[in-house]
């Protein structure tokens, strides 16, 4: 009997992992060690880096060590700086991130994926995003500051000014809740590359390429642009009804795995209320109408709020331009990508090499084309 074919590998289990788990039926995201996302959302990003790579939350000494290592690995090396200097200001920021990470990894020349190398690439990703943003503005990249945490330093290097502590906390929550999400397309891409025996930097560069696709990394921007067109909370009802009447798509609703409200959306909605009150007011008004109408029109399938819906409000609330949304997501997710690769390699799993089904013309046993 033929092996069943599943388009997009939907529902097909291709790996085992302890890094994170999406319990879509119950609307839960569980990080390594059994921590529900609500339990760690207010933790520091450095703690989550340690958790995803080591399997438990760090004690004070372990946290200090992780923080020190992230700080140490922030600087771009000569190869990365040369690559950055050669990029035009018009380059897609995701292309810039991919290029800078590739150059940084080429000079490091570390072959085997390890937790230490995962920390290094995580540190570099944030700097690379900030560096390209400064480069395209013809502004120098401020030197990294050892007295600032990972997220605070990212904002400092991005904007070139002392980071506002409230903004740091808002963005840190975003980094924490988006650090990993089971086997997303970009994570699987990184894992495939790692399974071939390639280095960690190549795996992360491949993941960035996957995330660049608008079907994966572009949803936050699309949801933000949709809400910008509403015109205010008072227009929410007419906006949603008009959009649906024209068979338009409500961005930020529905998820392949979640059958309940995305827990990350619930957390970011609360952050958004402080970070971007006007955005939040419009988003809540639209959400109320959208959930009502989607439930009425599509009672057979849940289309609840997902992480992208409020994420744009948080990111814009801390001054991140829309075209850097995907890059910032990548900077937060790098540790998750890396953790999955390291886990796969350490378990000595087989190279990922799935089968395909032939749908071309019939071929005879003699090798002819059947004609």
The Cα–Cα gap between 192 and 203 comes to: 8
Of 21, 26, 1, 28, the residue nearest 264 (C-alpha): 28
Helix (H, G, I), strand (E, B) or coil at 23: strand
The 3 state secondary structure assigned to 340-361 is HHHHHHHCCCCCCCCCCCCCCC
The Cα–Cα gap between 68 and 119 comes to: 10
Tokens of 73: 């690995």
Tokens of 148: 């600032």
Alpha helices in the chain (DSSP H): 37-40, 45-54, 60-72, 78-85, 93-108, 115-136, 150-159, 165-177, 185-195, 200-212, 214-217, 219-228, 236-245, 263-275, 277-297, 308-317, 325-346
Active site residues: 255, 308
Of 74, 26, 24, the residue nearest 46 (C-alpha): 74
């Amino acid at each position: 009997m033929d092996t069943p074919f599943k388009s997009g590998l939907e529902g097909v289990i291709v790996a085992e992992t302890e890094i994170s788990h999406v319990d879509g039926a119950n609307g839960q995201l569980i990080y390594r060690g059994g921590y529900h996302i609500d339990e760690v959302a207010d933790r520091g990003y450095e703690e989550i880096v340690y958790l995803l790579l080591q399997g438990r939350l760090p004690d004070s000494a372990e946290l200090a060590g992780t923080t020190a290592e992230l700080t140490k690995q922030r600087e771009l090396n000569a190869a990365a700086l040369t690559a950055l200097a050669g990029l035009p200001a018009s380059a897609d920021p995701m292309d810039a991130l991919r290029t800078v990470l590739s150059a940084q990894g080429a000079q490091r020349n570390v072959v085997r994926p390890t937790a230490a190398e995962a920390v290094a690439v995580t540190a570099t990703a944030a700097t690379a995003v900030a560096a390209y943003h400064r480069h395209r503005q013809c502004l120098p990249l401020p030197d990294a500051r050892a007295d600032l945490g990972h997220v605070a330093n990212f904002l400092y290097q991005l904007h070139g000014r002392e980071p506002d502590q409230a903004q740091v906390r808002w963005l840190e929550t975003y980094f924490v809740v988006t650090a990993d999400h089971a086997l997303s397309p970009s994570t699987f891409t990184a894992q495939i590359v790692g399974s071939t025996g390639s280095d960690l930097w190549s795996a992360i560069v491949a993941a960035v390429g996957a995330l660049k696709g608008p079907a994966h990394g572009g949803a936050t921007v699309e949801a933000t642009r949709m809400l910008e067109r509403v015109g205010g909370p008072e227009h929410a009802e007419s906006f949603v009804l008009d959009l649906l009447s024209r068979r338009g798509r409500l961005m930020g609703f529905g998820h392949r795995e979640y059958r309940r409200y995305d827990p990350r959306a619930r957390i970011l909605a609360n952050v958004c209320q402080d970070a971007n009150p006007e955005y939040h007011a419009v988003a809540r008004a639209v959400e109320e109408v959208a959930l009502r109408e989607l439930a009425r029109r599509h009672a057979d399938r849940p289309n609840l709020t997902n992480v992208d819906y409020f994420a744009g409000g948080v990111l814009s609330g801390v001054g991140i331009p829309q075209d850097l949304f995907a890059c910032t997501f990548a900077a937060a997710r790098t540790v998750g990508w890396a953790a999955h690769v390291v886990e796969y390699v350490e378990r000595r799993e087989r190279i990922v090499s799935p089968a395909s089904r032939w749908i071309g013309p019939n071929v005879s046993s003699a090798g002819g084309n059947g004609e």
